[in-house]
Structure 1
Amino acid sequence: MSDPKPLLFALYEQASVGCGGAPSLWTHPADERLAANTFDFWSNQARIADQANLDMFFFADVLGFYDVYGGNVEAAVKWAVEAPANDPLMIIPGLAAVTKNLAFGATITTSYEHPFTHARRLSTLDHMTNGRIGWNIVTSYLSSAARNFGLDEMLKHGDRYERAEEFMDVVYKLWEGSWADDAVVADKQGRAYARGDRVKPINHVGEHYRVAGPHLAAPSAQRTPVLIQAGWSGRGREFAAKHAELVFIAKSNPQEIRQGLEEIWSMAQARGRARDDVKSLTVLRIVTAKTEIEAQRKYEVLQSNYHLEAQLVSYAGDTGIDLSRYSDNEALTNHTEGLTSYMMRPDGSGKPLTAGDVRQRFANVTRGTDLILVGTPQQVADRIEEHARVSGTSGYMLNPLTSPGTLEDFVELVVPELQKRGLYRTTPPQGTFRSRLRSDGASRLPDCAYGASFRQHLQQ
C-alpha cells in the first residue's frame, strides 16, 4: 500500500468583522476580529499560515449587506454579519509582501465586474506575488448587491451563469491569447520590450461584453490564476467541470461529497480533462484541546457567545427567507431561486421545513450541514483522515470560529497529528500556486483545459 498523500489545507477568511462561519462569535472574549480594519490583524494570521505551510489564504467576499432579515440592514449591522466588508484585493498585496510561500485566493464576481479591468487586476497580482494567486469565481446572490450596481433585482440563476460563461471567454482571450509566448523579448540593446506583431487585440463582441484588447498586462507566471469555484447546484457542477481547478465544498456528509465530486469528475473527463485536474476543499471547523474535557469546555464557551439571531440574518441573506416574519409552526414558502433545498426537510420526505425546524437547526455552533469536529488533536486528525478517505476531497478549508484562535489551535495541536499520518506537508510549498496542484508541476493551464483553447486563437 502506498504512503498517504498530504492533503491540501487553506484558511477561509472574510475582510470583515463578522466571518461567515458563525458571524456572532466576534463577541467571544478571545476573538480579535474587532481589529479587522487593521493590517496587523491580517498580517499576523498570514504569517502563522505561511510558517505552518498552509497552501492558501482564502478570502470570501460580498458586495451588499444581508438586509433580508427584518427587511433592513439593522440586524446585519448590529451583528456585523459579513460586514462591514472591506476589499480583500487591497489586503492581499500587503500579505504577499510579509509571506514567502502562502498562496492567496480572492472571491470576485462575474455579475458586476468587467472582464477587462478584472483581467488586468489579477495579472498584476500574479506578477506581484510570483504566481501565488487564485480566483474564486462567483455569480453573486444578494439582491442588495444588485441594487448597488444599478439593477432593480438580482439576475436569474441561469442568466448569471450565461453571463459568467462569456466573462470567462473574455478573460481567457486576454490572459491566454492576447500575448504570444514569445512576445516579450526585454531586449535593451535591441531597444525592444516586446514584439508588436505578437501582441494582438482580442476583438470580442458578445451578448454582454465588447472588448477590443490587447490585454494591458504582460503575461504573468500563471497567466490565468488558479480557478476556484463553489457552485454545488447542477449548473454549478457543470461550470466546475468546465473551468474549476479547485472546488469549494460547504457540505459535511462524506458520501454526499463523494457523489457530487464523482459527477463533476465524470463531466470533466467528458470534456477531455483528467480527474486530477479538479481538486476540492471541504469547509472544516474545529474545536480542539489537549483533553476531551478541555475541548468540550471550549465548545461550551463558544456556544455561550453564539447568537441565533445573527445566524438567521446570514440564513436570510443566503436564501431570501426572512424568519423574523414566521412563527415556529409555519412552513417556509418563499425562497431565492436555486436554493429550494434550504426549504425542504433533509429526510427526503419532500415536506417543507417550518421556521421552528430552521431555528432548531441553527440553535448551536454546529449549524446544520457544515463539518465541525470537536475533540483532542488525535480525535480531530482521525476524523479528518476518515472523512477524506470516504469523501475523496483533496483537502480542507479551515473556517475559524475565533480568530486567530482557531488557526493557532490547528497549527499547534492538529498539524503535528496530521503530519504523523502523512496527511500534512512537512516542507514549504514551492513555486506558483498552480504548479503545486498539478502533478507535472507546470504553472500554466494544462492543454486539455477549456481556457487553454484560446492560446491558438491569436497566435497563429
Structure 2
Amino acid sequence: MSEPIPLLFGLYEQASVGCGGAPSLWTHPADERLGINTLRYWSNIARTAEEANLDILFFGDVLGFYDVFGGSEAMGLKWAVEAPANDPLTIIPALVALTERLAFGVTVSTTYEHPFSHARRFSTLDHLSNGRIGWNIVTSYLSSAARNFGLDQMIRHDDRYERAEEFLDVAYKLWEGSWADDAVVADKAALTYAQGSRVRPINHAGNHYRVAGPHLTSPSPQRTPLLIQAGWSERGRQFAAKHAELVFIAKSDPQEIRKGLEDIWAQAQDRGRQREDVKSLTVLRVVTGATTIEAQEKYERLQSNYHLQAQLVSYAGDTGIDISRYADNDPLATYTEGMTSYIMKPDGSGKPLTAGEVKQRFANVTRGSDLILVGTPDQIAEKIEAHARISGSSGYMLNQLISPGSLNDFVEKVVPALQKRGLFRTTPQTGTLRARLNAARNDRLPDSAYGASFRWHHLGH
C-alpha cells in the first residue's frame, strides 16, 4: 500500500467582521473579529498560520454591501455580513513583511479592476513576497458593487466571463510577453538597467480594453501569480479548465466534488494540460474537543450564538434572490446573475430549492452544503482522509467559525492527528507558491498553460 501524500491546507479569511460560513458568530464571546481594523489581529493570524506550515492564507473580498435581503443594506450592516469590507491588498504587504514562508491568495474582480493597474500591482506583490502570491479570479456577483462602479445594473453572468477572458489576455501579455527574460541587465558599469530592445508594448485592442504597454514592472519571480478560481457553474468550470491552477470548492458531498473536478480535469486535458496542473482546496469548518461529548458541547455553544437571519442575508446577497419575499413553499427564481450553483437542488434534477429548504439547510451552524466536521482530532483527521480519497480534493481551506479559536484548535489539535496519518507536512514549504504545487518545482506557468502562449518567444520579437 502506497504512503499517503500530504494534503494542502489553507486558511480562508476576509477583511470583514462577519466572515464566510456563519457571519453572525462574531457575536460569540470568544470571537475577536472586531479587531479586523488592527494590524495586531492580522499579524497574529498570519504568524499562527506560518508556524503551523499552512500553505496559504487566502483572502476573499467583495466590493459592495449585502443589500438584497429586504431591499436594503440595513440587515447586512446589522449582522456585519461580509462587512465592513476592508481592502485585503493593503493588508497583505504588511503580512508579507512579518512572514518568511507563508503564501497569500487574494480575490480581485475582473469586472471592476483594470488589467494594466492590476498587473502592475500583482507584479509588485510578487517581487516583495519573493513569489508567494496567488490571484483568486472572480467576476463578482453583487448588484451593489455594480452600482459602486457606475453601472445601472450588474453585467450578465456570461458577459462577465467574456470580459474576464479578455482581462486575462491583457494580463498575460503584460506579465509573460512584455519583457524578455534577459531584458534586465542591472549593470552599473555599463550604465544600463534594461535593454530597450527587449521590452515591448503589447498594443492590445479588444472589445473591452485598449492597452498599449509595456508592462511597468520588471519580471517577478512567478511572472504570472498563481491563478486561483472558485466558479462551479458550467461556465465557471470551463474558465477553471482554461486558466486555474488551484480551484476553490465550496461544497461538501465528496461525490459531487469528484464529478465537478473530473469535468474540469477532462476539459483541461482537452486543452493540452495535465490533471495535476489543476489542484483544489475544499472549504472546511472544524469543531473539535478532547472527547466527542466535548466537541458536541462546543458546537452547541456555537449554535447558541448563531442567527439564521444573518445567514439568509448572506444567501440573498450571494444569489441575488431576496428570500425574505418568499413563502416557505415557494420555489426560488432560477434566473439570477448571482451564484446560480447555490439555488439548484443538489440531486441533479435541475429544479430550484424552495425558500423553506434553504432555511432548513441553514438552520444550524453550516453554510448550505459546505463541509463541517465535529469530533475529536483523530475523528476529524479520519473524516478528512476519507473525504479526500473519494472527492479527489488536493486539500482543504479552513474557514474559521470562531477567530482565532478555530485556527488555534486546528493547529494545536487536528494538525498533529493529520501528521500521524501522513496527511500534513512536517517540514515547511519553501520557494514560490507555484513551485510548491508542482513536482518539477517550476516558478513559471507550465508550457501547456494557456497563459504561456503569450510569452515573448511565442509572440515574436
TM-score (norm: length of structure 1): 0.98
Aligned equivalents of 1:185, 1:341: Cα separation in 2 = 50
SS at match of 2:160: helix
CA displacement at 1:345 relative to structure 2: 3.6
Map of 1:252-331 to 2, 5 A cutoff?
Answer: 252-331=252-331
Q: 1:196 to 1:341 in 2, by over 3 A?
A: closer
Aligned equivalents of 1:170, 1:426: Cα separation in 2 = 40
SS at match of 2:301: helix
CA displacement at 1:438 relative to structure 2: 1.1
Match of 1:165 in 2: 165
Q: 1:67 to 1:190 in 2, by over 3 A?
A: same
Amino acid at match of 2:384: I
SS at match of 1:11: strand
Aligned equivalents of 2:66, 2:335: Cα separation in 1 = 15
CA displacement at 1:378 relative to structure 2: 0.2
Aligned equivalents of 1:271, 1:289: Cα separation in 2 = 46
CA displacement at 1:322 relative to structure 2: 1.2
SS at match of 1:207: coil
Q: 1:282 to 1:182 in 2, by over 3 A?
A: same
Match of 2:145 in 1: 145
Match of 2:176 in 1: 176
CA displacement at 1:4 relative to structure 2: 1.1
Aligned equivalents of 1:25, 1:163: Cα separation in 2 = 36
Which sections of structure 2, spanning at least 5 residues, go unmatched?
A: none
Q: Is 1:18 matched with 2:6? A: no
Amino acid at match of 2:165: E
CA displacement at 1:365 relative to structure 2: 0.4
| Deviation per residue, 1:264-318 (Å, 9 max, x gap) | 1111111111110000000000000111111001100000000011000000001
User: Do the aligned residues in 2 keep the contact of 1:320 with 1:335 (CA within 8 Å)?
Assistant: no
| Deviation per residue, 1:362-387 (Å, 9 max, x gap) | 11102320000000000000000000
SS at match of 2:154: coil
Match of 2:35 in 1: 35
SS at match of 1:222: coil
Aligned equivalents of 2:324, 2:393: Cα separation in 1 = 36
CA displacement at 1:346 relative to structure 2: 3.5
| Deviation per residue, 1:150-179 (Å, 9 max, x gap) | 001111111001000000000000000000
User: Do the aligned residues in 1 keep the contact of 2:251 with 2:371 (CA within 8 Å)?
Assistant: yes
Aligned equivalents of 1:451, 1:334: Cα separation in 2 = 34
Q: Is 1:234 matched with 2:230? A: no
Aligned equivalents of 2:42, 2:440: Cα separation in 1 = 33
Q: Is 1:108 matched with 2:100? A: no
Aligned equivalents of 1:338, 1:22: Cα separation in 2 = 19
User: Do the aligned residues in 1 keep the contact of 2:200 with 2:213 (CA within 8 Å)?
Assistant: yes
CA displacement at 1:2 relative to structure 2: 2.2
Amino acid at match of 1:35: G
Amino acid at match of 2:400: P
Amino acid at match of 2:302: L
SS at match of 1:58: strand
Q: Is 1:421 matched with 2:421? A: yes
Aligned equivalents of 1:242, 1:352: Cα separation in 2 = 29
Match of 2:3 in 1: 3
SS at match of 2:136: strand
Map of 1:69-80 to 2, 5 A cutoff?
Answer: 69-80=69-80
Map of 1:41-120 to 2, 5 A cutoff?
Answer: 41-120=41-120
Aligned equivalents of 2:126, 2:364: Cα separation in 1 = 40
SS at match of 1:286: strand
Q: 1:118 to 1:340 in 2, by over 3 A?
A: closer
Amino acid at match of 1:443: D
Match of 1:368 in 2: 368
Aligned equivalents of 1:368, 1:201: Cα separation in 2 = 47
Q: 1:58 to 1:340 in 2, by over 3 A?
A: closer
Which sections of structure 1, spanning at least 5 residues, go unmatched?
A: none
CA displacement at 1:91 relative to structure 2: 0.2
Amino acid at match of 1:194: A
TM-score (norm: length of structure 2): 0.98
Larger mean CA deviation between 339-348 and 313-322 belongs to 339-348
Q: Is 1:133 matched with 2:133? A: yes
Q: 1:350 to 1:395 in 2, by over 3 A?
A: closer
CA displacement at 1:403 relative to structure 2: 0.4
Amino acid at match of 1:2: S
User: Do the aligned residues in 2 keep the contact of 1:11 with 1:56 (CA within 8 Å)?
Assistant: yes
CA displacement at 1:331 relative to structure 2: 3.0
Q: 1:159 to 1:295 in 2, by over 3 A?
A: same
Aligned equivalents of 1:341, 1:436: Cα separation in 2 = 31
Q: 1:341 to 1:43 in 2, by over 3 A?
A: closer
State the number of aligned residues.
460
CA displacement at 1:20 relative to structure 2: 1.4
CA displacement at 1:335 relative to structure 2: 4.5
CA displacement at 1:200 relative to structure 2: 0.4
SS at match of 1:91: helix
Q: Is 1:189 matched with 2:194? A: no
Amino acid at match of 1:215: H
Aligned equivalents of 2:34, 2:338: Cα separation in 1 = 34
Amino acid at match of 1:251: K
Amino acid at match of 1:424: F
User: Do the aligned residues in 2 keep the contact of 1:61 with 1:108 (CA within 8 Å)?
Assistant: yes
User: Do the aligned residues in 2 keep the contact of 1:286 with 1:406 (CA within 8 Å)?
Assistant: yes
Q: Is 1:379 matched with 2:379? A: yes
SS at match of 2:137: strand
| Deviation per residue, 1:88-124 (Å, 9 max, x gap) | 0000001111111000000000001000000000000
SS at match of 1:93: helix
CA displacement at 1:340 relative to structure 2: 4.6
